[in-house]
Amino acid sequence: MDTDTITAISTPIGEGAIAIVRLSGPEAVKISNKLFQGNDLTSVNSHTIHYGKIIDPSTSEVAEEVMVTIMRGPRTFTREDVVEINCHGGLASVNRLLELVLAEGARLAEPGEFTKRAFLNGRIDLSQAEAVMDLIRAKTDKAMNVALKQMDGRLSKLIQSLRQELLETVAHVEVNIDYPEYDDVEEMTLEMMVKKTNQVYVEIERLLQMAKQGKILREGISTAIIGRPNVGKSSLMNALVHENKAIVTDIPGTTRDAIEEYVNIRGVPLRLVDTAGIRETEDIVERIGVEKSRQVLKESDLILLVLNYGEELTKEDLNLFKVVEDLDIIVIVNKTDLDQKIDIDKIKHYANGRPVITTALIEEVGIDALETAIADTFFAGELDVGDLTYVSNVRHIQLLKQALQSLTDAINGIEDKMPIDLVQIDVTRTWELLGEIVGDTVQESLIDQLFSQFCLGK
């Protein structure tokens, strides 16, 4: 009976070696194939497994390395076409994968919906019926608990206030429609409407932006290590990773490969990036100039700037300071085992209030202070971690995206000079979608609003 394709993460939420995103429905294979680089999934045999890559169609970048299992109905759990995409475990990667699948047109499954479909398509026998119903109930309760727990109090408050804003707008239009002679309220115009919708649009967009940032946080704070050659960037990385991943030598330029490491610094996940580009930062600055280097480094959430204790500040060092002006940095003055040639006061001046740590990384001195500084940078709120964690629930994000879409429809309608009562259909839809996030979709509240906001008679 169902004609749409549903999807969900079908492995337990949490860190596992492998996670599975499952799709079921008529479009399951088509959707997977659109994202998949490898065999043509639409023509492979049923019940086969394929290695390949998931490509993000918006950026054409490789998002994940995956194994994809193709199972065509009816010999499947749901009796529909089923695709299971196995990816690296970890919330970040599996969520990204899920979002790509959703973006291609699958719908996020309701709790227990795979089982429900299996049942409705006759997969499960009578004795299991009761169990299925219990399962739906249990899963729903759990999903609701999880969703509610994941919902930050501030998020719920913000959504409520956006809804109220929209509700008042909608009620205003409604009152114009249902009480056309009521003269106590001015006629809502498209100009007034566009102001309201734009306001809410900006807020939802900001929420989605924060959701993205929240994802970064869960995936790790992307952290760049910069500095002139041979100041100890690789040693720093090793010290943080406690493992000899990068090659450490005294010869400048011996760090060859782009390296990424995830480390957990006192609860703050860092993704340390030591790319060729960043290794040769000073070259970049020379090559493309301060402003452009800034743009490159802005992509990072945190920058560790390494200086040499045993040398005076050079012009390159000063250039680097210019590049990271106003960005979140921690200055690390390394090699305190050497004689001091650097002027710490000057550094503090250039650091401009941002933390300055002295270390001797080879001797493992100062690492503790560095870790404290990293943790402080986050918990002191300078990166505003609180805001970053706002929206993390995939369902919420999906609903926000839909809300943004229907608001876009409304704004397009306004631009096309559609009658206001048609534009209002999309505004009402936005209000309903936001309501689904906070679990409130009662239509009656519009009518309540109408009669409390306006004094109506005729």
Partner 1 sequence: MTYDAGHYDVIVIGGGHAGCEAAFAAARRGAKTLMLTLNLDMLAFMPCNPSIGGPAKGVVVREIDALGGLMGKVIDKTYIQMRMLNTGKGPAVRALRAQADKPLYIQEMKSILENEKKLTLRQAMVEKLIVENGECKGVITETKAAYYAESVIITTGTFMRGRVIIGDLSYESGPNNQRASVKLSEHLEELGFDLVRFKTGTPPRVNSHTVDYSKTEIQPGDDDPKHFSYETKDAILDQIPCWLTYTNEFTHKVIDENLALSAMYSGMIKGTGPRYCPSIEDKVVRFNDKPRHQIFLEPEGRNTEEIYVQGLSTSMPEFVQREMLRTIPGLENSEIMRAGYAIEYDSVVPTQLWPTLEVKNIPGLFTAGQINGTSGYEEAAGQGLMAGINAASKALNKESFILNRSQAYIGVLIDDLVTKGTNEPYRLLTSRAEYRLLLRHDNADIRLTEIGYNLGMIGEERYRSFLEKNRLVGEEKLRLTDVMLKPTDEVQKIIEEAGGTALKEAVRAVDLLKRPEMKYEMIEKLTPATLDLTWDVKEQVEIQIKYQGYIDKSNQQVERMQKMENKVIPDNIDYDDIGGIATEAKQKLKKVRPLSVGQASRISGVNPSDVSILLVYIEQGKIARVSNEY
Sole window of 57-65, 274-282, 307-315, 440-448 interacting with partner 1 (rule: CB under 8 A): 440-448
User: Judged by CB under 8 A, does residue 419 bind partner 1?
Assistant: yes
The CB-of-225 to partner 1 minimum distance in angstroms stands at 49
Name which of 338 and 455 has its Cβ closer to partner 1. Answer: 455
User: b vs e for 270-289, b when ≥16 Cβ sit within 10 Å of the residue's Cβ?
Assistant: bbbbbeebbbbbbebbeeee
Residues 6+ positions from 154 with CB-CB distance below 8 Å: 386, 390
Q: Give the type of residue at 293.
A: S
User: Judged by CB under 8 A, does residue 140 bind partner 1?
Assistant: yes
User: Judged by CB under 8 A, does residue 416 bind partner 1?
Assistant: yes
- Could you tell me how many residues of this chain bind partner 1 (CB under 8 A)? 57
Report the residue from 29, 356, 420, 434 that binds partner 1 according to the rule CB under 8 A.
420
Alpha-carbon gap, residue 70 to 48, rounded angstroms: 6
**Residues in 181-220 that interact with partner 1 by CB under 8 A:** 181-184, 187
Between helix 394-415 and helix 126-150 the angle, nearest 10°, is: 70
At residue 22, the 3 state secondary structure works out as strand
With DSSP H G I counted as helix, E B as strand and the rest as coil, what are the percentages for the chain, rounded to 5?
Answer: 50, 20, 30
Sole window of 128-136, 211-219, 366-374, 395-403 interacting with partner 1 (rule: CB under 8 A): 128-136
Alpha-carbon gap, residue 94 to 16, rounded angstroms: 11
Report the residue from 13, 177, 258, 338 that binds partner 1 according to the rule CB under 8 A.
177
Alpha-carbon gap, residue 116 to 385, rounded angstroms: 39
State the number of CA atoms in the 13 A half-sphere of 170 facing the CB: 24
Whether 175 and 406 have beta carbons less than 8 Å apart is answered as no
At residue 106, the 3 state secondary structure works out as coil
Sole window of 87-95, 172-180, 216-224, 349-357 interacting with partner 1 (rule: CB under 8 A): 172-180
- Quote the DSSP letter at residue 363: G
Report the residue from 12, 122, 153, 353 that binds partner 1 according to the rule CB under 8 A.
122
User: Judged by CB under 8 A, does residue 113 bind partner 1?
Assistant: yes
CA dihedral 171, 172, 176, 178 (to 10 degrees): 10
User: Judged by CB under 8 A, does residue 43 bind partner 1?
Assistant: no
User: Judged by CB under 8 A, does residue 110 bind partner 1?
Assistant: yes
User: Judged by CB under 8 A, does residue 245 bind partner 1?
Assistant: no
Report the residue from 111, 232, 355, 435 that binds partner 1 according to the rule CB under 8 A.
111
At residue 421, the 3 state secondary structure works out as helix
Report the residue from 13, 61, 65, 137 that binds partner 1 according to the rule CB under 8 A.
137
User: Judged by CB under 8 A, does residue 133 bind partner 1?
Assistant: yes
User: Which residues of the shown chain bind partner 1 in the complex (CB under 8 A)?
Assistant: 1, 74-77, 110-113, 116, 119-120, 122-126, 129-130, 132-134, 136-137, 140-141, 170, 174, 176-184, 187, 416-422, 425, 442-444, 446-447, 450-451, 455-458
